[in-house]
């Protein structure tokens, strides 16, 4: 599984504003703040929302600490998606939030 640190993700999205970010935290967690532009698909709903995820794009997976996004990354990789796990999650994120 590919991964990036929060600092690498911050730099990546600065240079690639169209980057696809998927936040797999629960809705109430995301309400406290998320990376601008990230789409919230809670981990428990991910399998039911596969049709909403563009298989032709690379997606950066985000959660609170990196564990759930790691599970989401494995699930999507097994189904042929190109994903990167953000290590450290929002606990390590120092960039902007909305």
Q: How confident is the model over 73-88, as pLDDT tens digits?
A: 999 999 999 999 999 9
What pLDDT, on a 0 to 100 scale, did the predictor assign at position 69? 98
CA 70 to CA 76: how far, in whole Å?
A: 10
63, 72, 76, 86: the active-site residue: 63
Kindly report the pTM of this predicted structure.
0.96
What's the mean pLDDT when you consider all of the chain? 97
Q: Which of 4, 1, 14 is nearest to 89 (CA)?
A: 4
Span 31-52, pLDDT tens digits = 999 999 999 999 999 999 999 9
Catalytic, 63? Answer yes
What pLDDT, on a 0 to 100 scale, did the predictor assign at position 33? 96
């Amino acid at each position: 599984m590919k991964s990036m640190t929060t600092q690498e993700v911050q730099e990546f999205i600065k240079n690639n504003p169209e980057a696809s970010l998927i936040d797999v935290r629960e809705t109430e967690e995301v309400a406290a703040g998320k990376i601008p532009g990230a789409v919230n698909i809670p981990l428990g709903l991910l399998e039911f929302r596969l049709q909403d995820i563009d298989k032709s794009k690379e997606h950066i997976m985000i959660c609170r600490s990196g564990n759930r996004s790691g599970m989401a990354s494995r699930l999507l990789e097994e189904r042929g998606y190109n994903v990167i796990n953000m290590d450290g999650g929002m606990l390590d994120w120092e960039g902007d939030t909305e």
